[in-house]
Chain A
Amino acid sequence: MSKAAVSVREALLEPGARDLRRARTDWIMRRVVEGAAFLAVLPLFALVIFVTLRALPWLSPEFFFNNPLDSEPGVLNAIIGSLQMSALALLITGPIGVAGGVYLSEFASARVASIGEIVIDILLGIPSIVAGLFAFLLLVPILGFSGWAGSLALGVLTLPIVMRTTQEVMRLVPPSIREASLALGIPVWRTTLLVTLRTAAPGVLTGLVLAASRALGETAPLIMTAKGTNASNFLDFGTTMNAMPLVIFRYAEAADDRTIGQAWATALVLMAIALAMNVIVRWRTVDSRVA
């Protein structure tokens, strides 16, 4: 790179001409980075518009309220399955994740906290297919191909998200708040739960919602655990269970238009839920992250 030094060719130019060139480069690069930013958001609009257009003709009451084998097929069991498996995954990993995050932020020594951070980093980096393999190897032999195994496979992915966000937001709570509470003679556990955690509650909630949205959208772990089914399976975690991502994955390459149409319609529903959850929790904090 030329750094600040000017090339021989530039040095031979009249000073005015050189400045003109530099101004022109500046203008061009401004347009280039603008264009890059525009390109970066383009896929979002393209995707949302395209999925919506393909899905709209197939959104009927039957789509939402019938099961795949009904005469007017729908994906009710997949919607229910996705919601209940994600809910169960969060029910199991939410408390553990929050408690672990609180420990790492409030009680762990610097050494333990840094080990904890590395562990969470690695867990966050686990490819979803590997989480699925793990559940397939360890849980399926015990629980069978079932909603239980599916929920726990999703839990492997949600646990580090909850733990990380809890730890981060707990750290942001000013020490003076804890000290004020402790100075009043309130025991540490009450201070932590009712003062520190309560102050950090919106952030913790954000982490839980993000984890839920991740769980709702995951496909790979469910392929080899919950497997999918055509039967209705409301709260029946003991057998194979359907989920929206599984429906999209399996219907995508179907031969008939109706099945493919249902894949698009399911994709629209799934995308709408995921986007809505993210819009709600992210929009509130976007100002502070950009400013």
Chain B
Amino acid sequence: MGTLDVHQPRSGSADPLFRRLLGAAAAGGGLLLLVITGRLIASTLPLWAIQSPLSFISTTAWITGIEQADGTTLEVYGAAAALFGTAATSLIAVLFAAPIGILGAIYLVEFAPKRIAIPLTFLVELIAAIPSVVFGLWALGDLSLRIRDSIEWWIASTVGRFIPWLAEDPGSPAADSIFRAGFVLAIMILPMIVAVSREFLRSVPISLREGYIGMGATKWEAIRDVVVPTARVGLIGAVLLALGRAIGETVAVTMVIGNAEGIPTSLFLPGNSVAAKIASNIGEAGTEVQIAALVALGLALFMLSFVISLIVRLSLRRFTTIKAIS
């Protein structure tokens, strides 16, 4: 603190100004949120003039204007297909990433010696630093085909024989699919699940484990019966956070989901997600209504991630109060 000039004349009058400046910057964050929300809502208005929000959510078709026989143009916008794709890819991602992420976090916290835990944690965190477009390129150029010829083929040729939405025509396998997009998402959200689960597993007091092991339990039994139940809310929070991330992910999904219209009959066929639809259609959107429809998709996405982050926040707050009490 050698540079602190204590002989400087007091300038108490600068403090209120300083506070106000900083306060203005903090308010800038809130303002940004308000402007974004307001602008998005305002831009969807042209759509609501021709369609109700309910029909927008429930319609599958997306028709940007076809001249009909009687001279009128048909214009219908439906989010259902894109919402289905987003839900399907995100759930597939969580289905793969949650067990591996939580078990991996258990290893890092409970079993790994420090010299392994440190580099391993570090490497997992690094995955989160890789830009999603690089994942997209990897998926497009290599991974996607590998998934198709291994996991997808295996599922389609066993369970897929009996369940139509897991079936694939082996004669003409699609280049892109909802399943492959979900699998790539799983890799992308894995570090988040590991990192957040790790935090909550670590916060379980060591004395709880010691008590249970002291009563004769094995280490795994202590984890199963004490550590995981205690950290349960946090683990669910980790999965929800990752789900929120998966829902918003755009580029990697756009590159491997196939940008097909409608809801596909099988998860191994091309589809579309909300974010991918916006990204691939915004360039061609000419009319105000077309743009409004895409913005309405964005608004739906925004609201979804908003609700998820709110749920996480509320549930984790409960967790921290419980922790403070016990």
Contact A219 B283 (CB under 8 A): no
Residues from chain A with a CB closer than 8 A to the CB of B117 are 290
The residue that B133 contacts in the complex, of A123, A189, A217, with Cβ under 8 A, is A217
Q: A9 on the interface (CB 8 Å rule)?
A: no
**CB-based nearest A residue for B282:** A224
Contact B29 A160 (CB under 8 A): yes
Q: Which one of A36-44, A62-70, A230-238 contacts B? A: A36-44
Contact B275 A37 (CB under 8 A): no
Q: A205 on the interface (CB 8 Å rule)?
A: no
Residues from chain A with a CB closer than 8 A to the CB of B275 are 127, 129, 220
The residue that B40 contacts in the complex, of A54, A133, A223, A290, with Cβ under 8 A, is A133
In chain B, positions 251-283 with a C-beta closer than 8 Å to chain A are 251, 255, 275, 278-279, 282-283
Contact B218 A26 (CB under 8 A): yes
Residues from chain B with a CB closer than 8 A to the CB of A130 are 36, 40, 248, 298, 301-302
A249 to B28, CA, bound (A): 32
Residues from chain B with a CB closer than 8 A to the CB of A258 are none
Residues from chain B with a CB closer than 8 A to the CB of A118 are 313
Number of B interface residues in the complex (CB < 8 A) = 99
Contact B15 A271 (CB under 8 A): no
A-facing mask of B305-324, CB < 8 A → 1, else 0?
Answer: 11011000100000000000
A245 to B247, CA, bound (A): 20
Contact A194 B3 (CB under 8 A): yes
Contact A126 B302 (CB under 8 A): yes
- Given known A252-B136, A286-B118, contact A220–B295 (CB-CB < 8 A): no
B-facing mask of A250-291, CB < 8 A → 1, else 0?
Answer: 001100000010011001001100110111001100110111
A190 to B4, CA, bound (A): 8
A-facing mask of B1-40, CB < 8 A → 1, else 0?
Answer: 1011010101110110011011111111110110110011
The residue that A189 contacts in the complex, of B14, B110, B191, B255, with Cβ under 8 A, is B14
A25 to B1, CA, bound (A): 57
Q: Smallest CB–CB gap between B295 and chain A, Å? A: 6
- Given known A194-B4, A252-B136, contact A103–B250 (CB-CB < 8 A): no
Contact A37 B104 (CB under 8 A): yes
Number of A interface residues in the complex (CB < 8 A) = 105
Contact B279 A223 (CB under 8 A): yes
Q: Smallest CB–CB gap between A191 and chain B, Å? A: 9
Q: B239 on the interface (CB 8 Å rule)?
A: no
Q: B124 on the interface (CB 8 Å rule)?
A: yes
Q: Smallest CB–CB gap between A246 and chain B, Å? A: 8
Residues from chain A with a CB closer than 8 A to the CB of B196 are none
Q: A181 on the interface (CB 8 Å rule)?
A: yes
Contact B26 A186 (CB under 8 A): no
Which of B22, B28, B114, B141 has the largest number of chain A CB atoms within 10 A?
A: B22
Main secondary structure of the interface of B (DSSP, over half): helix
A163 to B194, CA, bound (A): 24
Residues from chain B with a CB closer than 8 A to the CB of A32 are 103
Q: Smallest CB–CB gap between A178 and chain B, Å? A: 12
Residues from chain B with a CB closer than 8 A to the CB of A122 are 33, 306, 309
Q: A1 on the interface (CB 8 Å rule)?
A: yes
Contact B111 A33 (CB under 8 A): yes
**CB-based nearest A residue for B224:** A1
**CB-based nearest A residue for B119:** A286
Contact A217 B15 (CB under 8 A): no
Contact A271 B107 (CB under 8 A): no
Contact A103 B26 (CB under 8 A): yes
**CB-based nearest A residue for B273:** A129
A4 to B111, CA, bound (A): 21
Residues from chain A with a CB closer than 8 A to the CB of B205 are none
Contact A186 B306 (CB under 8 A): no
Residues from chain B with a CB closer than 8 A to the CB of A99 are 21-22, 24-26
Please name 18 pairs of A and B residues whose Cβ atoms are closer than 8 Å in the assembled complex, sorted by A: A23-B218, A33-B110, A34-B107, A40-B124, A44-B130, A96-B25, A119-B33, A127-B247, A127-B249, A129-B279, A133-B294, A134-B40, A163-B29, A190-B8, A248-B137, A260-B141, A274-B129, A286-B121
The residues of A with any CB-CB pair to B shorter than 8 Å are: 1, 3-4, 22-23, 25-26, 29-30, 32-37, 39-41, 43-44, 47, 50-51, 54, 95-104, 106-108, 115-116, 118-134, 136-138, 156, 159-160, 163, 181, 184-190, 192, 194-195, 213, 216-220, 223-224, 245, 248-249, 252-253, 260, 263-264, 267, 270-271, 274-275, 277-279, 282-283, 286-287, 289-291
Given contacts A22-B218, A116-B29, A187-B15, 18 further A-B contacts (CB under 8 A): A23-B218, A36-B103, A47-B135, A100-B25, A102-B22, A103-B19, A103-B22, A126-B248, A127-B305, A129-B279, A130-B301, A137-B39, A137-B43, A156-B36, A184-B4, A190-B4, A249-B133, A270-B134
